[in-house]
Chains A and B, each alone.
Chain A
Amino acid sequence: MTTTDHSTDAYAAERDTTEGRVYTVTGGDWDELVSSVDPVNEERLIINLGPQHPSTHGVLRLVCELEGETVRSVRPIVGYLHTGIEKNMEYRTWVQGTTFVTRADYLAPIFNETAYCLAVERLLGIEVPKRADVIRVIMMELNRISSHLVALATTGMELGALSMMIYGFRDREKILDIFEAVCGLRMNMAYVRPGGLAQDLPPNGVQMIRDFVEYMPKGLDDYEGLLTGNAIWQERTQGVGYLDVSGCLALGVTGPVLRSAGLPWDLRKTQPYCGYDEYDFEVPTHNGADAWARYLVRLEEIRQSLRIIAQGLDKLEPGPVMVEDKKIAWPAQLALGGDGMGNSLNHIRHIMSQSMEALIHHFKLVTEGFRVPAGQVYAAIEAPRGELGVHAVSDGGTRPFRVHLREPSFVNLQAIPALAEGGLLADVIAGGASLDPVMGGCDR
């Protein structure tokens, strides 16, 4: 530096003052520069996040208007995963409907199926056997855990806690293994059917679930060790994505987000279904109303789900898992064959060579389905993301006249502007992730 001729150095202009010679080494007058090009106060930048971006939870598109790093407005744009599930169901039988709804919110398929089946059962005016109810509860709570694990894992990934992503998906895999053993599929199982379940638990099913209930608390301790005391995690989530109770109610936000704001509204407690009133569990709440509170609420909900599963396993008693009425019960008896799960050979022998009536029932139910008395119902359950409602209308025919899914992802996503506007761009991701939207459910 000493050999440089300062008088000609563009990056260190010099001027004489009463204090002596002063060098301006920054290369210009920043005050002048900032006032001439002012990104904070003058320029608004419009940034498009998504629809294909790992931090937008699937095909969600956010159009953000920025002033510097500050978000002035967010406009969520949805519909990229619209697959016409509701329209398709109007062209299939009531039983086939389960295979459609299960694909809506693909992280919580059992919930979609159960809500739909509860609606169909209310239209039919039937009650499912006790054992089917208990297995539904066990499967729903397992599914709640797996869904919350994905929420924790993806939020962790988006905020830079990559280990959490690995841990979350590792433990979710154990639940998917249970699902696979029980229904033959890891996702989109169509396991819950109008009138009961597709089949009973396999011989080793109860033991698999017990092993998982024993294993999981250790996994939860791992997550807490990773995240709860982690300064970066706290900084990224505390005070981020604030939405209080009145905001939640106005925007229709339910589930962990509402409970993180302090209102213990959980349909399992407030309007019980599937016999949830017989289980002993708490509804965790928090007063933070921010992403941090939602994280804590979800962790605690996993613990409560484990309690419910353990109680459910104790309640299991031998019995049928499908209603007795042969006019409604799906006639197939499944069994594991050499080429995977399929109709059991005993059942095929029965309908093909032993009973004409069984064959007729099988044929009529499979091709045409059962008729559902005309009317409309609304059945709602507490899904991992909030209230999942099914508005089902029947015209008395064998196919749904109209089925509407009140999807918590769809409704909750409306809250993104309320969560994110006025905050920093990075907090849009944290706030959005704390809503845990699933676009398959949102767009249906």
Chain B
Amino acid sequence: MTDDATGTGRDRPDGVQPVGMQTRKGLFGTEGTGDTSGFGGLVQAAPTAGEIVSTPEPLGGYFDEVVGALRELLGEDVTRAVVVDRGELTIYIAPDRTEAVCKAMRDDEGLRFELCNSVSGVDYPDQRNRLHVVYHLTSMTYRRRVRLETAVGLDNPVVHSVTSVYPTADWQEREAYDMFGVVFEGHPHLTRILMPDDWEGHPQRKDYPLGGIDIEYKGAHIPPPDERRSYK
């Protein structure tokens, strides 16, 4: 064990991810990375920690219309930032307003985003609010797509659930909770969905290693692959 438990060269936020944080060696001699497959460790690019910069308006296409309608319904401050990149619109919103925004997006005649395609999480470990939740909405009426994004920190990772607006978000929010530890307030039964119920930690966080987690199943103890035998 070293102080740099995450092996990323960055200090780990205190009190998170107690599982599998030992410094380990990979198959082909890679060290100090969570990757025990041996293929990683080639590039450790750090994602930007900077503030998100809005695209200057007008945004073009239907983007102005969507953002304008949303601001008219919920106030100017509903959008924290609006980014147009690669022809896709991303609206950054506050974590406690996801439900209200989705309701407006679904019900307003000019917006009509009937379908919530996808809810996914992204972990940006260098940002203060590192856990992002990303919603992709589709308007079948107008054939438009939009992305909503919100971010929370580890100290209070609470996002308002949108299951009351889009029931399809149910399992996808459970997955985001399972994999990233985002707590969705108002979700009817926020439990793990892909990992076992008693799993510790949230596997898709960036400081959670790939592999190298020993497994206990009904009393049997199975060491992680890189500790089962000596490869070197």
Q: Give A contacts to B, CB under 8 Å.
A: 78-79, 82, 84, 86-88, 90-92, 122-123, 125, 249-254, 263, 265, 270-271, 367-368, 374-378, 380, 387, 389, 391, 393, 395-399, 401-402, 404, 406, 410-411, 413-414, 443-444
- Which applies to chain A's interface (DSSP): helix, strand, loop or mixed? mixed
Considering the complex, give the chain A residue whose CB is closest to the CB of B35. A91
CB distance A404 to B118 under 8 Å?
Answer: yes
The yes or no answer to B204 lying at the interface (CB within 8 A) is: yes
Q: How far is the CA of A391 from the CA of B119 in the complex (A)?
A: 10
Q: For chain B, residues 23 to 51, give those with C-beta under 8 angstroms from any C-beta of chain A.
A: 35, 37, 39-40, 42-43, 45-48
**Given A91-B39, A271-B143, A397-B43, A414 and B85 touching (CB < 8 A)?**
no
A377 CA / B86 CA spacing, docked (Å): 7
**Bound CA–CA A270/B167 (angstroms):** 24
The verdict on B168 contacting chain A, using a C-beta distance below 8 Å, is yes
Of the residues A254, A378, A401, contact of B145 by C-beta under 8 Å: A378
A-B contact list, 9 entries, CB within 8 Å? A87-B204, A91-B210, A253-B168, A270-B140, A368-B42, A378-B88, A391-B134, A401-B47, A401-B122
CA distance A401 to B171 in the complex (A): 23
A378 adjacent to B39 (CB under 8 Å): no
* Contact partner, A414, options B140, B143, B168, Cβ 8 Å: B168
Asked if A378 contacts B195 (CB within 8 A), the reply is: no
State in angstroms the CA–CA spacing of A426 and B136 once bound together: 36
Q: Are B48 and A252 in contact (CB under 8 A)?
A: no
Interface residue B6 (Cβ < 8 Å from any Cβ of A): no
User: What is the CA–CA distance of A378 and B118 in the complex, to the nearest angstrom?
Assistant: 9
Quick check: B85 and A376 within 8 Å, CB to CB?
yes
Closest 3 CB pairs of A and B: A252-B168, A397-B45, A404-B120
State A249–B123 Cα separation when bound (angstroms): 29
Q: Which of B9-17, B63-71, B109-117 contacts A (4 or more CB under 8 A)?
A: B109-117
A393 touches B166 (CB 8 A): no
Contacts of A251 in B (CB 8 A): 167-168
Known: A82-B194, A84-B203. A406 touches B118 (CB 8 A): yes
Indicate if the CB atoms of B193 and A78 lie closer than 8 Å.
Answer: yes
Q: Which residues of A contact B179 (CB under 8 A)?
A: 86
With CB as the reference atom, state the residue of chain B lying closest to A81. Answer: B194
Find chain A residues with CB under 8 A from B168 CB. 250-253, 411, 414
How near does chain A come to B45, taking the closest CB pair, in angstroms?
3
Tell me, in angstroms, the Cα distance from A302 to B196 when the chains sit together.
38
Confirm or deny: B147 has a beta carbon within 8 angstroms of a beta carbon on chain A.
yes
